[in-house]
Structure 1
Amino acid sequence: MTKVDGHVHTPFCPHGSKDSFEMYVERAMSLNYRAITFTEHAPLPEGFSDTTPDQDSGMNPSLLTEYFDTLDMLKEKYKDQILIRSGLEVDYIEGFESETREFLSTYGPRMDDGILSVHFLQHDGKWDCLDFSHDVFGSMVDDYGSVDAVYARYYKTVLKSIRADLSVYKPKRIGHITLVKKFQKLFPASHSFSDDISAILREMADRGLELDYNGAGFVKPHCGESYPPLNIVKEARALGIKTVYGSDAHEAKGLDQGRTLMDI
């Protein structure tokens, strides 16, 4: 099987490492990968205020041209050794669909691949980055009234992201659809939310979307499983959904993380 990593971050990540592109590419080749997609966090929608302490969830918009130009040079440099795809991980933020559509209409032509993810949820006018820390997640549980209420809002928002009209350049892969479980050992839900997840998968299948099979959850101390876990991956595959392994690496050594524990 051809080894592919479809979810890799870069030195352009404001909350990641400064490992060079070459470090990522050389490590990928040493692990016998044949293709890699760089999916840096896109700038958050215009008008949205990042609620993380350092406001570093997305790229600086002024760096986008340099980012894509650098990837073009890498493609040429390594063209005989590994397939490099240019991409972005785009946040779906409810209520900012038009801004996201405009962004994708501008930069989508430079994207070979991409991921659409949910990180931010809104409750009573307050936005939270649900995967930022267990403290933030705990405060969300207090605000929402229960762990289950946070889970329900997350899955509802993921479904909205799938249905959203974000232009012809909308990413075709949905990112880490069980990210809400990042702190599940500290904040366990009362049930599996299997109906919500099945609805998400059916919608993805109907629209021909791919699933990010994300290994990063294995290295998160309060998660301990892939995003999503294998039973959901099997359900997705039964519906004809293509699953694409993603390390979600934010440093070169993070490539391949979780992969040996997954059914790839």
Structure 2
Amino acid sequence: MYADYHVHCEFSDDSDYPMLDVCRDAVGLGLDELCFTDHVDYGVKPDVDEYERDHSLARVEMDQPVLNVDYPRYFAAIDEAREQFAGKLAIKAGLELGVQGHTIRRNQALVDTWGERMDFVICSIHEVGDKEFWTGEFQEGRTQAEYNQAYYEEMLAVVEGFRGYSVLGHLDLIKRYDPVGILSFEASRDVIAAILEQVIVDGKGIELNTSSFRYGLPDLQPCCEILRLYRDLGGRVLTIGSDSHEPAHLAAHIGECRARLRALGYERFCTFEHFEPVWHEL
């Protein structure tokens, strides 16, 4: 099974890669299956219907409002893609939810509303207190130890209060946007262990996100220490995704990452069908 389980298209605010082009390219790359996981970030982006009622709710970038997924159009487009690529590519429906402690209820309501149309949900921490990492706003005024601890504490609060997800996305994402460098694993080990223990108890999983290569990180994402700890704690639910936003990203480094996982002692990875893991040999 050759699958990419973190794929964005034109329904994400940060991608203009047409869904049907993604599917054609996936077939050309020999993928058996992919899952679309377009962005929802309550707290910093409104839904389409909210924006239609009040345009002031959305910031504007490059003359376009920054919005969450247009859910009816998105799921209808996935259905159409499935019909067009039947027998050539298995296409799964997912979302990547940027969850914060104060948005848990909204995210759970979203999954409750659209869950029958979905296979898979990535839970990511993209913001804390509605402050984003990529802009540096979240890190401003904090030491490296403080913003790393605040990031993981928010993740712990989310996994303790939210059950509507399949895997945690790019668990140590803060490393991408750390202006100082990369804080040692040991500095955050205890809170990371608490996160992983909760994930395992709840029957959820984590993803290996192959975008670490294009971001120039010195290790996998999450790092090998986290992957070993998850394995040692009994974690087994694991997906692999490229975090693709454009053609050059799709399926990138998945083969290499599968080999790295085998070297770390993993034997299987997962795809998903209606929120249930389907196991495959690495």
TM-score (norm 1): 0.83
Residue 188 of structure 1 corresponds to which residue in structure 2? 182
**CA–CA separation in structure 1 for the residues paired with 2:231 and 2:57:** 35
Residues 24-173 of structure 1: matches in 2 within 5 Å? Answer: 24-42=22-40, 44=42, 54=61, 58-60=67-69, 63-122=70-129, 127-130=130-133, 132-133=134-135, 136=136, 139-144=137-142, 146-165=143-162, 170-173=164-167
The residue identity in structure 2 corresponding to 1:103 is L
**CA–CA separation in structure 2 for the residues paired with 1:70 and 1:142:** 40
**CA–CA separation in structure 2 for the residues paired with 1:79 and 1:5:** 17
Query: Is it true that 1:236 corresponds to 2:227 in the alignment?
Result: no
Structure 1 pair 191–165 and aligned structure 2 pair: CA distance change class (3 A): closer
Name whichever of 235-244 and 109-118 sits farther off. Answer: 235-244
Structure 1 pair 172–58 and aligned structure 2 pair: CA distance change class (3 A): farther
Report SS of the residue matched to 1:244.
strand
Cα-to-partner distance string for 1:85-118 (whole Å, 9 max, x where unaligned): 0111112122122222222221222111111111
Contact 2:41 2:99 in 1 (8 A): no
Query: Is it true that 1:203 corresponds to 2:210 in the alignment?
Result: no
Contact 1:116 1:175 in 2 (8 A): yes
Structure 1 pair 22–191 and aligned structure 2 pair: CA distance change class (3 A): closer
Report SS of the residue matched to 2:6.
strand
Unaligned regions of 5+ residues in structure 2, if any?
47-55, 262-282
Give the deviation of 1:3 after TM superposition. Answer: 1.4
Report SS of the residue matched to 1:69.
helix
Give the deviation of 1:246 after TM superposition. Answer: 0.8
Residue 4 of structure 2 corresponds to which residue in structure 1? 5
Structure 1 runs of 4+ off > 4 angstroms? 45-53, 55-58
Query: Is it true that 1:249 corresponds to 2:244 in the alignment?
Result: yes
The residue identity in structure 2 corresponding to 1:253 is A
Structure 1 pair 8–200 and aligned structure 2 pair: CA distance change class (3 A): same
Structure 1 pair 27–156 and aligned structure 2 pair: CA distance change class (3 A): same
Report SS of the residue matched to 1:189.
coil
**CA–CA separation in structure 2 for the residues paired with 1:65 and 1:94:** 26
CA RMSD, 1 decimal: 2.6
Structure 1 pair 128–56 and aligned structure 2 pair: CA distance change class (3 A): farther
Structure 1 pair 254–56 and aligned structure 2 pair: CA distance change class (3 A): farther
Give the deviation of 1:45 after TM superposition. Answer: 5.3
Name whichever of 48-57 and 70-79 sits farther off. Answer: 48-57
* Aligned mate of 1:227, from 217, 221, 232: 221
**CA–CA separation in structure 2 for the residues paired with 1:233 and 1:121:** 24
Structure 1 pair 70–53 and aligned structure 2 pair: CA distance change class (3 A): closer
Cα-to-partner distance string for 1:11-30 (whole Å, 9 max, x where unaligned): 111122x2221221122222
Structure 1 pair 115–226 and aligned structure 2 pair: CA distance change class (3 A): same
Residue 276 of structure 2 corresponds to which residue in structure 1? none
Contact 2:8 2:17 in 1 (8 A): no
* Aligned mate of 1:174, from 146, 163, 168: 168
Contact 2:185 2:225 in 1 (8 A): no
Report SS of the residue matched to 1:85.
strand
The residue identity in structure 1 corresponding to 2:240 is Y
Name whichever of 80-89 and 229-238 sits farther off. Answer: 229-238
Residue-pair matches, total: 246
Percent identity, please: 22
Contact 1:52 1:129 in 2 (8 A): no
Structure 1 pair 111–157 and aligned structure 2 pair: CA distance change class (3 A): same
